[in-house]
Amino acid sequence: MRGLMQDWPLLCHRIIEHAARYHGTQEVVTRSVEGPIVRTTYAEIHKRALKVSQMLQRDGIKLGDRVATIAWNTARHLECWYGIMGIGAICHTVNPRLFPEQIAWIINHAEDRVVMTDITFVPLLEKIAGQLPSVERYVVLTDKAHMPQTTLKNAVAYEEWLAQADGKFEWQDFDENTAAAMCYTSGTTGDPKGVLYSHRSNVIHSFMANSKDALGTSSSDVMLPVVPLFHANSWGIAFSAPAMGTKLVMPGMKLDGASVYELLETEKVTHTAGVPTVWLMLLNHMAAGNLKLPHLEFVVCGGSAMPRSMIKAFVDMGVTVRHAWGMTEMSPLGTLAALKPPFSDLKGDAQLDVLQTQGFPPYGVQMKITDDAGKELPWDGKTFGRLKVAGPAVAKAYFKVDTKILDDEGYFDTGDVATIDPHGYMRITDRSKDVIKSGGEWISSIDLENLAVGHPAVAEAAVIGVFHPKWDERPLLIVQLKQGQSATREDILKFMDGKIAKWWMPDDVVFVEGIPHTATGKILKTALRDQFKAYRFPNAAA
């Protein structure tokens, strides 16, 4: 027997319609790419998104066509998103921090027909435009006055283009499993891979994101997503915030400590989300000027492991810290470290121990850990295994790739190595390719990095496994010191000693000027392994 409830497809554009109807006057504030702070509302964004749909349709864009955006977090970018998805076209967010050749590869692979971009990226696109045969037109997200001279094909200023539409347009219903958006993983190994979200998966993900143990904002909160729209849907915030009628503050291109602080302060932001690097810049800026953020209540941090010292800095400010783990293939939320019983009342170090885990999943994500043969491992908080996930917002295949990516039970291998404790809290111990295999045992590079950055002179730390004649691999700690600070190899090892098992201690410490990062801000271990290819431990004996 079938249920007797309405067949109401879960479609992304219904979210902005809801925001416009019930929270129409709620503000969306942007630090515009042109400079000034600009203010709009959900009602206005909805109206203009309909015009985007109308214009795309006039330009021949149909259901299933890909439209790229290469843009910062702004209200215009949000309008484009909903306008593209509303006609069943696919919003392909391109990460501008990738190498130009990777951007060209991705646009060609996706066969994008239109590229919508900020003035900032016009020079970059001009360099690769000759290699982009599928692109028929470039829409530059600015007005006539700021439109640069450009050689880009059929280039038009967004405001002029939009002004041609009368806005008499309605979005139609279609199958909720229709593709809505795509995002390529940064591909630190091999070619980038296209993750293709559906309307249904994005809407379900927005419900998950909006649960209280996840991002959980309300119509009285103010959210500033520092995490870009091109980084896995800004962790779903582009959907979850309008779904709740949460005021949005969009930071545009300025993500440095001073600029983010200024917006947090002047817009009375209560909730914000970003990667650790962003919070490091903010905290440094605040410490230097002895600044406070009395309105800030909640900071989400993910993308890479949040250092304990950073968690403590926010806790000491009275801010709720939500350490999150996820990935592009998961839309992207996987787990978040909320404090639940029996941990709710913990204080001090015991509380930090729980906040530093990657947390437990919202309803809609299932996890398991297995050994290399696929056998499930116990949830004892100690045994590490390959972390695998399943759920309605988890990828089942990559775009135009035939390879099977799910195991026989339908779980996707995240490439992470993790423990899970009896309460369901997951802790990432490594990427499966970064874990250090010493004498048959595994050492977590992330644990060592987190510990090392707790040293007051250390700005950033990376650990890689280096060949050892007796143990196969041993950890090498690579350190970048804070400007103007000094520390020796011995200082750092002494600081770590006693805080981890003896056999986990790095065999050596080397100091570097800078640690390389991927386009999404993660430490680029492949480059470090290359750089230290010839390195040998001083006292390595078989």
Span of 46-54, 115-123, 222-230, 297-305 interacting with ligand ADP by CB under 6 A: 297-305
One-letter-per-residue 3-state SS of 461-484: EEEEEEEECCCEEEEEEEEEECCC
Contacts 24+ apart (CB under 8 A), 414-418: 414/327, 414/329, 414/330, 414/334, 414/386, 414/387, 414/388, 414/389, 416/325, 416/386, 416/387, 417/384, 417/385, 417/386, 417/387, 417/442, 417/444, 418/358, 418/369, 418/384, 418/385, 418/387
- Nearest alpha-carbon partner for 415 in 383, 370, 363: 370
Q: Two tokens at 39?
A: 């203010």
Q: Among residues 120, 442, 473, 526, which one is catalytic?
A: 442
Phi, psi of 183 (to 5 degrees): -150, 130
**Closest separation in Å from C-beta 51 to ligand ADP:** 32
As a whole number of Å, the CA-based R_g of the chain is 24
Binding of ligand ADP at residue 296 (CB under 6 A)? no
Span of 67-75, 211-219, 246-254, 299-307 interacting with ligand ADP by CB under 6 A: 299-307
Binding mask 186-205 for ligand ADP (x = CB under 6 A): x-------------------
Q: Among residues 40, 185, 217, 335, which one is catalytic?
A: 185
Rounded to whole angstroms, the maximal C-alpha distance in the chain is: 77
Binding of ligand ADP at residue 302 (CB under 6 A)? yes
Q: Among residues 79, 329, 449, 460, which one is catalytic?
A: 329
Binding mask 429-458 for ligand ADP (x = CB under 6 A): --x---------------------------
E strand or H helix at 280: helix 276-289
Q: Which of 14, 199, 200, 323 binds ligand ADP (CB under 6 A)?
A: 323
Catalytic-residue membership of 442 = yes
**Closest separation in Å from C-beta 239 to ligand ADP:** 17
**In degrees, to the nearest 5, what angle opens at C-alpha 220 toward C-alphas 218 and 222?**
85
**Closest separation in Å from C-beta 303 to ligand ADP:** 5
Binding of ligand ADP at residue 416 (CB under 6 A)? yes
**Closest separation in Å from C-beta 415 to ligand ADP:** 6
Torsion-angle region of 515 (φ positive above 0: left; ψ -120 to 50: alpha; else: beta): beta
Give the whole-angstrom CA distance, residue 468 versus residue 483.
32
Binding of ligand ADP at residue 117 (CB under 6 A)? no
Catalytic-residue membership of 437 = yes
Subset of residues 385 to 414 that bind ligand ADP, contact rule: CB under 6 A: 414
Residue with tokens 């996890």: 367
**Closest separation in Å from C-beta 152 to ligand ADP:** 27
**Closest separation in Å from C-beta 236 to ligand ADP:** 12
Provide the CA 435 distance to its chain's centre, in angstroms. 22
Size of the site for ligand ADP (CB under 6 A): 23
**Closest separation in Å from C-beta 436 to ligand ADP:** 15
411 contacts: CB under 8 Å, gap ≥ 6:
366, 368, 388, 389, 390
Q: Which of 12, 78, 152, 305 binds ligand ADP (CB under 6 A)?
A: 305
Binding of ligand ADP at residue 425 (CB under 6 A)? no
Span of 311-319, 375-383, 450-458, 517-525 interacting with ligand ADP by CB under 6 A: 517-525
Give the whole-angstrom CA distance, residue 310 versus residue 280.
7
Closer to ligand ADP at the Cβ: 185 or 240?
A: 185
Closer to ligand ADP at the Cβ: 53 or 358?
A: 358
496 contacts: CB under 8 Å, gap ≥ 6:
448, 451, 452, 455, 505, 506
Binding of ligand ADP at residue 232 (CB under 6 A)? yes
Catalytic residues: 185, 329, 437, 442
Q: Which chain residues interact with ligand ADP by CB under 6 A?
A: 185-186, 232, 302-305, 323-328, 332, 358, 414-416, 428, 431, 518, 520, 522
